[in-house]
Amino acid sequence: MDLEGIETGIEVVGEPKIANPLVNNDNQSRDRYFVSDDDRVLISVKLDELEALHRAGQTPPSFELAGPREKIYFDPSKLRCALITCGGLCPGLNDIIRAIVLELYYFYGVRNIYGIRYGLRGFISSFGHDIMDLKPETVSHILNMGGSILGSSRGPQNIDEIVDSLERMSIGILFMIGGDGTLMAATRIADVIKQRRMKTCVIGIPKTIDNDIHLVSRSFGFDTAVDVATAAIKGAHNEAQGYPNGIGLIKLMGRHSGFIAATATLAQQDVNFLLIPEIDFDLDGPSGFLETLEQRLALRGHAVIVVAEGAGQKFFEDGQSERDASGNIRLKDIGLLIKSRIGAHFEAKGIDVSIKYIDPSYMIRSLPANANDSVFCGFLGRDAVHAGMAGKTKLIIGHWNNHFVHVPMTASAGKRKQVSPYGKLWRTVLEATGQGSLKNE
């Protein structure tokens, strides 16, 4: 990992001077309960990198440990908070909302908590969306619901209008749950708030089912996605085995990063070919995918293929100029292209095949979180509240080296984590599938 230039300092809106009311709910000592800003988590724990920094006289970069502080900035009796969910749906959104609301209400005594409906549009008066008053009774039953009770939307909105709305509502803490586009918007909102000298904190909770946010080792929803993707692979394998020359083809999420597809492949090791955005491959030629697939069918009589949605975009002649409302390139459907090319390849050779195509993407996105994700979301939501109450701003709650930490938005937003072609995950995939490079060298 390149450790140069990683900023880890966390901004605050003011000095915290109020005693944290959480001490009244704790039977342990203050020292054991509260976290200090001096409690740090090293970004890298590799000995060679740490020794190199030591020789250069540099302090190893580290993140603030997340958790409750002994002093808080906001008076809970006067504080108003707002929550917003943006971008695509993801398992765990309601778990995050519930954790934030219950922590604010029961443990800090905050009574004014508002849900902004349908993403950033909810701040813009012309859309006419009502605000949801969030109380414990509002969120007590939502753990088993998929999606988000606040709704969502894509696309940019006017930042000044958003901050105008925050100012009118006297919001002290804004919790933004979303992916990379949301975090970039949150960064701009925080900057405008600072320019206006407002005392409003912006706390981000990173959301991406693809697990591709930079400097975040795990994002919520990923575990649930892998669970369901694994079930799809099982079904595809059963279908493939049930027919002569049976082929099970599964398309999974992963616009730019193949973490779901790779992890599900290792969780259910019936996959013979994995195609992800980070690893180039050829369709035709002696070492290409189609010829290798033909060899697999001749040897074993069936095959299972997993393809991430962003893989193989080079095979589309009409380019990728179209973009969605969030500015993301509209990907072409690689799953259907692979299915078509497989059919044409074997038809030209007079070989009968039976292709079963499975695309569980939207079903996965709208499901409730599984048990592991639900617990993980509880930690994220509560630590987001602790950070906001302490007056910290322009940060995201991340998970790093098995700890929850404060990551500056500027260190993460606009950057992407990807599967390394030389890393352990991809090496293990190659060992499990035996697929080779699928490149004509």
For 396, the token pair is 């995201």
Q: Which fold has domain 223-365+421-433?
A: Rossmann fold (3.40.50)
Output the pLDDT for position 46.
Answer: 83
Looking at the chain, which residues constitute the CATH 3.40.50.450 domain(s)?
11-219+367-412
Q: What is the Cα–Cα distance from 372 to 380, expressed in whole angstroms?
A: 13
Residue with tokens 């054991």, as numbered in its chain: 32
Task: Please confirm, yes or no, whether 210 is among the known catalytic residues.
Answer: yes
Output the pLDDT for position 4.
Answer: 60
The set of residues, in sequence order, having a beta carbon less than 8 Å from that of 386 and lying 6+ positions away, is 35, 66, 67, 68, 69, 103
CA atoms within 13 A on the CB side of 316: 18
The answer to whether the beta carbons of residues 334 and 307 sit under 8 Å apart is yes
- Closest by CA to 397, choosing from 210, 114, 177, 196, is 177
Looking at the chain, which residues constitute the CATH 3.40.50.460 domain(s)?
223-365+421-433
H/E stretch holding 403: strand 403-408
Q: Give the pLDDT means over successive 10-residue stretches in the chain (441 positions).
A: 73 96 62 87 86 82 96 97 94 97 97 97 93 96 93 91 97 96 95 97 94 92 94 95 96 94 95 97 96 96 97 81 65 94 96 95 88 97 98 97 96 90 96 95 80
Output the pLDDT for position 95.
Answer: 97
Among 3.40.50.720, 3.30.1490.20, 3.40.50.450, 3.40.50.2000, name the CATH number for the domain at 11-219+367-412. 3.40.50.450
Output the pLDDT for position 63.
Answer: 96
For 375, the token pair is 């617990």
The number of helices, as runs of H, and strands, as runs of E, in the chain is: 14, 17
pTM of the model: 0.92
248 forms beta bridges with 304, 356
Residues 95, 180, 210, 270: which is the catalytic one? Answer: 210
Output the pLDDT for position 55.
Answer: 84
The answer to whether the beta carbons of residues 229 and 250 sit under 8 Å apart is yes
Output the pLDDT for position 324.
Answer: 61
